[in-house]
Structure 1
Amino acid sequence: MNQQQPNNPLHGLTLENVVVKLQAHYGWEGLYNEIKINCFNNDPSIKSSLKFLRRTPWAREKVESLYIRTFD
């Protein structure tokens, strides 16, 4: 499977895994400071963040970029 996307650092990770790991690393306040997205500031939760990120491509790209910068 890794041979299909050898240069994709997010290959094999779900969006939920990305959000959970970022939240554990930064906390909700830290995530909001890094990326000004209201789902990280107003009553944040994994479930509400995933719902927003799945239907908002620009926000998902920012979260994925932060994950790569943080853990790569």
Structure 2
Amino acid sequence: MSSMQQNNPLHGVTLEGVLVKLVEHYGWDELAKRISINCFKKDPSVKSSLKFLRATPWAREQVEALYVATFAS
């Protein structure tokens, strides 16, 4: 394993794991305030959000950045 991966706070964490932990921490309403995307605002679910995030790199980057800022301090 490279040292870069060891220092990567997202290493070994799935996108689903990232999303679930953020929802548990913030809730859907607060998550939608922090990252303004419709899948968090209208009838949010992990399944629909994962589908959107996997297809939308800019949104995924924002979710991953929030995760790192929240949990990797």
Q: Provide the TM-score with structure 2 as the length reference.
A: 0.92
Partner AA of 1:35 in structure 2: I
Partner Cα distance (2:4, 2:37) in 1: 32
Alignment of 1:12-51 (within 5 A): 12-51=12-51
Partner Cα distance (2:3, 2:65) in 1: 22
Quote the sequence identity (%): 67
Count the aligned residue pairs: 72
Partner Cα distance (1:48, 1:2) in 2: 33
Q: Give secondary structure in 1 for the equivalent of 2:31.
A: helix
Q: Which runs of 5+ in 2 are unaligned?
A: none
Partner AA of 1:66 in structure 2: L
Structure 1 residue 7: Cα displacement: 2.2
Partner AA of 1:29 in structure 2: D
Q: Greater helix share, 1 or 2?
A: 2
Structure 1 residue 9: Cα displacement: 0.9
Q: Which residue of 1 aligns with 2:67?
A: 67
Q: Which runs of 5+ in 1 are unaligned?
A: none
Q: Provide the TM-score with structure 1 as the length reference.
A: 0.93
